Structure 1
Amino acid sequence: MFSKTLLAATITLATQQATAAGFQLNAQSATGLGRAFAGDAVIADNASVMSRNAAAMALFDSSQFSGGLNYIDTDIKVSDIQHNGQSIDNANNGSGTPVPNIYYIYRLNDQWAFGAGIYSNFGTTNNFDDSFGGPDSGSPLVGGAPTAKRFGGTTEVKSINYALTVSYRINEQFSLGGGLDIVQGSGKLKRDTGFANDTPLPPAMGGTITTNALDVEADGVGIGWNLGAVYELDERNRFGFSYHYSPEIEAEGDMFYNGGQGENQIDGQKLLMPLPSMAEFSGYHEIKDTKFAVHYSVQWIGWSAFDELNTSGGTTLNTYEWQDGMHYAIGGTYFLDDAWTLRAGYMYDTAAQDEKTSISVPDSDRQWFSAGFSYHFEKKHTVDFGLTYLLGKDVDVTETDPTGSLTATTHADAILAGVQYSYSF
């Protein structure tokens, strides 16, 4: 029972990282990063808009190319750790992750436009040092006790979205769009039992248990879709709405767990990972007789879809009490002159977790403070820069399993920086 419960706990903790709000990647462009993605479903200042709303491709009067790189530097602190009444040293897990993107929009005529893009919506890296939780222990039958190692471990999750989109302009006010999202997800997950190698199990169980509790390298592909619309009130004011249906990823690969008699492979089953769908409403308004525009977005993220984690064999590994999340963003753009554009934004981002928390998932409500600028040169060329400071909150965590409990406080901040190049032709 210990081994099966440990298997469920470690896999589900790692999978939470792929879908928790704290690890949703808002990194589709450096341009959007510089305004906290406020208005990004309708602004359409370069080809990256297709990642937020396919209908906004109809706003361009020429074909567009855009490519860039965002860098995410995370700082995750785990403090005040108590495991079965014993204090554990604090952990500070920092990591840097580059997130590239590339987009192309082909304007066929005044009504039709087609797009293709590669970007990411989900991903994380959160690795605890091998020393976390203390040294391996001996058999519980001879005075040993499992450490807190099984609550930490290694988690690396990545996703790539391959998008194909189309837009159609109905008239001067209305445009529609949609497309397919091919989502490729991969993960590397490792957990320790907290016991030394070949630790004897109780006589009634027989055999031994090893240090390695879980070692998974798996990947899979899912198919999603998106729909969008744009309404242009006039040349200075417009609104956009989009809906992205996210697929369930069926991940397979090398998956091993400790079943009490050494390592055992999980044969013939896939790990089913549902991703949240998203809906977004954006507005953009240029203020008459000024060089200033205001823009905003409200985004809903359907985290409650992650209700259970199952295998393709029908086994429920764990259940959750998720809540849907929201993003509220507002920003401003100042057109300094023909060459320079300045922008800034603020976002409030709500957590997906409610009652269930984990030190491996430092999820909380977050605030985004963003700024950026564009430099236009040689008429058709633009370079964008964006910078965001993401500020999280302290979260009190309690985790339990058959061997005991752990309490701690987690806090996660991040700095995001990006650069984007765009060309219109």
Structure 2
Amino acid sequence: MLPNMKPSLIALLVVSSQAQAAGFQLAEQSATGMGRAFAGEAAIADNASVLSRNAAAMTRFDSTAFSGGVIYIHPDVNIEGTTRVPTAMGPVSLDASAHDIAGDAWVPNAYLIMPLNDQWRLGLAATSYYGLGVQMPDNYNAGHFGNVSDIKTMDLGVSLAYRINEMWSLGAGLSAIHGEGEVGGTFPSNNKIAKHLKGDGWALGWNMGALLELSESTRLGLSYRHDVNLTLSGDAIGTDLQGRTFTDTGSLDLPLPATAELALFHQLTPALALHSSINWTNWSKFVQLESELDHYGTMHIKDEHWNDSWRYALGLTYRLDPKWQLRSGIAYDSSPVPADRRTISIPDSDRIWYSAGVGYQWDSKLSLDVGVTLLDGKKVDVTETMQLKPGVPQTTSSFQGTSEGDAWLAGLQLNYLL
């Protein structure tokens, strides 16, 4: 009975992977950074949003700094293919194409940096590092592989930074992470619920960073965010092997991986700055998914066995005059999902970021930033099989096709120095 819920829970990790960073990450923590493809983000520290990447860089601010904004995400994710399903008359092939299955989203953020004295800085942050979802069309023929998925997270953080000397600064922070998700699956060719789970939960995480200021024009940033297991608890609906609907309560541990960034910033001329980043994500932590239902015990959902992923970004900032600043960047984001483990619910692929941005200095205290990014995802093959009744080979269903996802991102941000 329990394995019938497998596809819906896997779908929790869905199409954000096609629209944003690798796996199911969100990289969009500021419009400023987005305008340069987040190249050099842990070292630049041009406004308070650096708090999302490196707490140590808060020592760059000698007065209270605030940054807040929102990023709009418009993904275009499409699946083409067929599913083969068992029937009383034998297996049949059905169209399983689905278009525009990822919904638009708004990702807000806010950051505050406050000097405590000459050496100490306090920071407060509210942002998101994981999220988005998918909705398959009604009567989707491959709904048993996952029909609806939605996950939202909010990261509320507090950080401290300490300046050791003119060159070195260290920082660390704690985060309270709230997540809520809804996932579901339907029987082939109809909307009858085969499985459904809706829940939420909290987790505690930590991060640390260092900033090395080699000169007035060159600095290096290194940051690390520890992995977290986010437990989502709530209500479940399923169907047993006799076709009877049951309800239960339970929980699912969702692994949020460790991440690290090495960033370089160099002011080449008074007008031109170059910056770059290398990001690592410990997706090899994502080995399997298991759910604990209160009345039906442990349910093994799926083996994943992802690989660690890497992201490489280059960017530049050009100051036209004291008020206007131009930004641009390009990044390559590698997928952690091995080719033989892609699914409809996690159709991850490598992607390239093309970014541009503009900053306007309204006065000595207030500035505005705008950023735009095109994410170009590769078209990849997806092959997936499952047994509708585990252990009964005659009930095997399969999907074979392709997945492709692009996205447009646009962000606006206000920065203020008190």
TM-score, with length taken from structure 1: 0.89
**TM-fit CA distance, 1:376:** 0.5
- Superposed displacement of residue 311, structure 1: 2.9
CA contact (8 A) 1:359 1:408 kept: no
| Structure-2 separation of matches of 1:390 and 1:169 | 37
Instruction: Letter of the 1:9 partner, please give it.
Output: P
Q: Does 1:424 align with 2:417?
A: yes
Q: Deviations over 1:2-34 (max 9, x none)?
A: x43321232123245578825311110000000
**Equivalent runs, 1:277-316 vs 2, <5 Å:** 277-288=258-269, 290-312=270-292, 314-316=298-300
Taking a change above 3 Å as real, the CA distance of residues 253 and 152 of structure 1, as seen in their structure-2 partners, is closer
Structure 2 unaligned spans of 5+: 86-91, 388-395
- Alignment match, 1:117: 125
For residue 303 of structure 1, what is the amino acid of its counterpart? W
Uncovered stretches (5+) of structure 1, i.e. residues with no partner: 134-147, 198-210
Match of 2:89 in 1: none
Separation in 1, partners of 2:117, 2:59 = 10
More displaced, 415-424 or 396-405? 396-405
Q: 1:262 aligns with which of 220, 223, 244?
A: 244
SS in 1 for 2:42: coil
Partner residue, 2:44: 43
Q: Determine the structure 1 residue equivalent to 2:405.
A: 412
How far, CA to CA, are the matches of 1:265 and 1:106 in structure 2? 49
Conserved? CA contact 1:68–1:100, under 8 Å? yes
Q: Is 1:237 aligned with 2:218?
A: yes
Tell me if the contact between 2:335 and 2:349 (Cα under 8 Å) persists in the aligned partners.
Answer: yes
Whole-Å separation in 2 of the counterparts to 1:90 and 1:252: 32
Q: In structure 2, what is the Cα distance between the partners aligned to 1:152 and 1:311?
A: 16
Q: Verify: 1:91 aligned to 2:75, yes or no.
A: no
Q: Indicate whether 1:223 and 2:207 are aligned.
A: no
Q: Please give the secondary structure, in 1, of the residue aligned with 2:336.
A: coil
Counterpart Cα distance in 1 of 2:124 and 2:404: 37
Q: Aligned AA for 1:344?
A: S
Residue identity matched to 2:79: V
Conservation of the 8 A alpha-carbon contact between 1:126 and 1:155: yes
Offset from partner CA, 1:256-295 (integer Å, 9 cap, x none): 111235322234x32111111101000000014x410000
How many angstroms apart in 2 are the aligned matches of 1:8 and 1:326? Answer: 29
SS where residue 341 of structure 2 aligns?
A: coil
Match of 2:166 among 165, 169, 172: 172
Which residue is 1:317 aligned to?
A: 301
Instruction: Give, in angstroms, the shift of residue 41 of structure 1.
Output: 0.4
Q: Does 1:9 align with 2:7?
A: yes
Give 4+ residue runs of structure 1 displaced > 4 Å after superposition: 16-20
- 1:349 aligned partner: 333
TM-superposed CA distance for 1:315, in Å, is 3.8
Pairing of 1:36-185 with structure 2 (within 5 A): 36-84=37-85, 86-88=93-95, 90-92=97-99, 93-133=101-141, 148-185=142-179
1:236-262 deviation per Cα after TM superposition (whole angstroms, max 9, x unaligned): 000000000131011101111112353
Give the secondary structure class of the aligned counterpart of 2:103: strand
| Paired residue type of 1:369 | Y
After superposition, the Cα gap between the structure-2 partners of 1:185 and 1:318, relative to the gap in structure 1 and judged at 3 Å, is: same
The match for 1:201 is none
How far, CA to CA, are the matches of 1:101 and 1:196 in structure 2?
A: 39
| AA matched with 1:265 | T
Shift of 1:195: 6.8
Where in structure 2 are the equivalents of 1:337-376 lying within 5 Å? Answer: 337-354=321-338, 355-376=340-361
Structure 1: distance between partners of 2:368 and 2:291: 45
Corresponding residue SS for 2:81: strand
With 22-31 and 36-45 compared, the bigger mean Cα shift is at 22-31
- Partner-residue secondary structure (3-state), 1:31: helix
Amino acid at match of 1:413: D
Matched residues in 2 for 1:321 and 1:248: separation?
16
Q: Is the 8 A contact 2:162 2:170 kept in 1?
A: yes
Distance of 1:155 and 1:13 partners within structure 2? 6
C-alpha separation between the residues in 2 aligned to 1:368 and 1:385? 16
Residues 400, 305 of structure 1: CA spacing in aligned structure 2 closer, same or farther, 3 A cutoff? same
Contact 1:127 1:152 in 2 (8 A): no
Instruction: Give the Cα separation in 2 of the matches to 1:50 and 1:217.
Output: 32
Secondary structure class of the residue paired with 2:205: strand
